[in-house]
DNA sequence: GTCTATACTGAGATAGAC
DNA sequence: GTCTATCTCAGTATAGAC
């Protein structure tokens, strides 16, 4: 393998060492940056190849389609994010054993990793867009479902009086609240712009936890 | 004007009375239907003209662009929806005067009209998509801002101990919760599919009201 | 197995005849 | 106001260089 790279370095097709073997990463990096900045459909593959300095067809060789490229961009980031969520949840549950973890802790474990990953260029902003563009179905099932199931069972232990259906609906509401918090853009409302990740997480946790403790309906 | 229509009826260009003058409505109807069913970018102008039985260039004559067409589709529905919100809020405030309206009533006034308009083919589903595609900025300011300001001041009276900033953030969270509730698709989670509008409204009001009563942060 | 060059189909937009 | 023809650019597919 090292030999191949060495040989290719002397051909006219490749002007820099390594350019060939990191093509996939270069595409992913460029795609993540541009998707996050301008949205999925406003970003053309030709803009991505220009940023990544690769050939157009290389995208279809490595990913097959623009949609599949988006999936891979998300999976690359979502994997570590969901792992952090589960790690945090494990820790909180271990700390409170044999009691179940406090509701607030569970919510923190879910919310915080998502807010922190936002530091990378526009990833969660992208997630929010993706969610509402209806591009989620397959990607969600494969990469988020196990994590979601784990959190639902933790919630069920923390709130034993709530039915499964109630918890699923509230989890939806919580996801919506978080999603909008991460996508809130400075231009819509200047006052919401300058909020530190920690403050935002605190606001979210307070709001969501209280919602989970509310009765299912008021009737 | 009636004379003109009568005359045109005998030319070969127009085969039915009125086809010419309701072109704009036909386009709006078809666009609303298709945008709601398949999303904004998955719907082509050529599909819309096929459904509306008009010419492609007619869209650009009447609306200028696909984006502007989407704006008009939304505005046509959002106007009545926001009027219903304000009417409800007025009624609740009048009923409780001179006391401020109860928080739960305010939330109902906001949530219920949005859920009821959903009966029309996919309008709020469309709204959710639009929101996350970042297409909202201009349209939001012009058609939603007055209504939002009115609700914020009602919330301020109902929750006098909360700061303006706290209320704005919580309103964001509430909007996100509602938005996701309306876009939740049966295929993502079957259990959330068969929920009556009334039940959904009750769940949302319970969750959101409780979130508003929570402290700004837990610290 | 990777990448380049190029062509194909369908999109939104526009100009100008009527 | 409406229609035909056309423009540019998008995502995609393929043939072949290395």
Cα–Cα distance for residue pair A33/B44, rounded to 1 Å? 27
End residue of a domain, out of A62, A77, A99: A62
Mean pLDDT, residues B77-98: 95
pLDDT tens for A174-193 read 999 998 888 765 555 666 66
Same domain, A126 and A154: yes
% pLDDT > 70, chain B:
77
Cite residues whose beta carbon is less than 7 Å from strand C: A 13, 20-21, 23-24, 54-58, 61-62; B 43-47, 56-57, 60, 64-67
Same domain, A32 and A88: no
Which protein residue's Cα is closest to nucleotide D1 at C1'?
Answer: B20
pLDDT at B53: 94
Lowest mean pLDDT across A62-66, B14-18, B102-106: B14-18
Mean pLDDT, residues A79-96: 96
**What's the domain range around B129?**
74-213
Higher pLDDT, A40 or A43: A43
Lowest mean pLDDT across A105-119, A185-199, B43-57, B105-119: A185-199
Same domain, A171 and A206: yes
> Is residue B11 in some structural domain?
yes
CA-to-CA separations, B63 to A65, B1, B28, B123, B143, in angstroms, rounded: 32, 23, 10, 19, 18
Higher pLDDT, A12 or A25: A25
Min Cα distance A143 → chain B (Å) is: 13
Lowest mean pLDDT across A8-17, A58-67, A104-113, B71-80: A8-17
Highest mean pLDDT out of A138-152, B109-123, B164-178: B164-178
Q: Does B144 touch chain A (CB under 8 A)?
A: no
Structure tokens at A118: 């936002």
Lowest mean pLDDT across A19-23, A126-130, B13-17, B136-140: B13-17
Residue to test with chain A: of B114, B203, B205, most A Cβ within 10 A: B203
Q: Is it the case that residue A1 has pLDDT exceeding 50?
A: no
% pLDDT > 90, chain B:
58
Higher pLDDT, B183 or B25: B25
Structure tokens at A186: 């400075």
Arithmetic mean of pLDDT over chain A: 84
Q: Spell out the long-range contacts of A181-187 with Cβ–Cβ below 8 A and sequence spacing 24 or more.
A: A181/B169, A181/B172, A181/B173, A181/B176, A182/A114, A182/A115, A182/A118, A182/A124, A182/A125, A182/A127, A182/A128, A183/A124, A183/A125, A183/A128, A183/A129, A183/B132, A184/B172, A185/B134, A185/B137, A187/B137
Percentages helix, strand, coil for chain A, rounded to the nearest 5?
70, 0, 30
Tracing tokens 């989670």 back to the chain, one arrives at B189
Using the CA of A24, which nucleotide's C1' is the nearest one? C2
Torsions phi, psi of B28, nearest 5?
-60, -45
* Total domains, chain B: 2
pLDDT tens for A47-61 read 999 999 999 999 999
Higher pLDDT, B173 or B97: B173
pLDDT tens for B37-61 read 888 888 999 999 999 999 999 999 9
Q: Does B194 touch chain A (CB under 8 A)?
A: no
Protein-proximal nucleotides of chain D (any atom < 7 Å from a CB): 1-5, 9-15, 18
CA of A50 to C1' of C6 (A): 18
Contact (CB<8Å) A177/B179: no
Same domain, A43 and A92: no
Q: Do B111 and B117 form a contact (C-beta atoms < 8 A)? A: no
Cα–Cα distance for residue pair B200/B194, rounded to 1 Å? 10
Cα–Cα distance for residue pair B80/B49, rounded to 1 Å? 26
Cα–Cα distance for residue pair A158/A156, rounded to 1 Å? 5
Same domain, B84 and B175: yes
Protein-proximal nucleotides of chain C (any atom < 7 Å from a CB): 2-7, 10-16
CATH number, domain of A55, equals: 1.10.10.60
pTM (predicted TM-score): 0.85
Mean pLDDT, residues A98-119: 92
> Is residue A219 in some structural domain?
no
Same domain, B171 and B82: yes
Same domain, B119 and B20: no
pLDDT at B108: 98
> Is residue B146 in some structural domain?
yes
Q: Cβ of residue B23 near strand D, that is under 7 Å?
A: yes
Q: Quickly state the pLDDT bin for A142 (edges 50, 70, 90).
A: confident
Same domain, B83 and B17: no
Lowest mean pLDDT across A4-8, A209-213, B202-206: A4-8
Q: Is it the case that residue A196 has pLDDT exceeding 70?
A: yes
CA of A22 to C1' of C2 (A): 11
Q: Quickly state the pLDDT bin for A43 (edges 50, 70, 90).
A: very high
CA-to-CA separations, B213 to A53, A56, A102, B102, in angstroms, rounded: 52, 53, 20, 12
pLDDT at B192: 65
Mean pLDDT, residues A63-73: 94
Lowest mean pLDDT across A14-28, B11-25, B48-62: B11-25
Which residues of A are less than 8 Å from B168 in CB distance?
189, 191-192
Same domain, A116 and A39: no
């Amino acid at each position: 393998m090292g030999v191949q790279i060495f040989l290719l370095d002397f051909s006219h097709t490749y002007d820099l060492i390594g350019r060939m073997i990191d093509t996939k990463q270069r595409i992913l990096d460029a795609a993540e940056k541009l998707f996050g900045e301008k949205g999925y459909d406003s970003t053309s593959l030709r803009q991505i190849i220009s940023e990544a300095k690769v050939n157009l067809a290389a995208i279809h060789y490595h990913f097959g389609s623009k949609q599949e490229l988006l999936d891979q961009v998300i999976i690359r980031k979502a994997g570590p994010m969901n792992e952090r969520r589960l790690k945090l949840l494990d820790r909180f549950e271990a700390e409170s054993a044999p009691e179940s973890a406090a509701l607030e802790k569970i919510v923190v474990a879910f919310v915080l990793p998502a807010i922190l990953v936002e530091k990378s260029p526009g990833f969660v902003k992208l997630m929010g867009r993706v969610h509402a563009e209806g591009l989620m179905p397959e990607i969600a099932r494969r990469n988020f479902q196990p994590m979601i199931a784990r959190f639902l069972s933790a919630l069920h232990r923390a709130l034993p009086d709530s039915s499964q259906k109630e918890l699923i609906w509230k989890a939806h509401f919580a996801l919506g609240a978080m999603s909008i918090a991460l996508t809130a853009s400075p231009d819509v409302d200047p006052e919401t712009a300058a909020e530190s990740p920690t403050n935002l997480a605190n606001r979210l946790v307070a709001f969501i936890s209280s919602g989970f403790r509310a009765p299912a309906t008021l009737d």
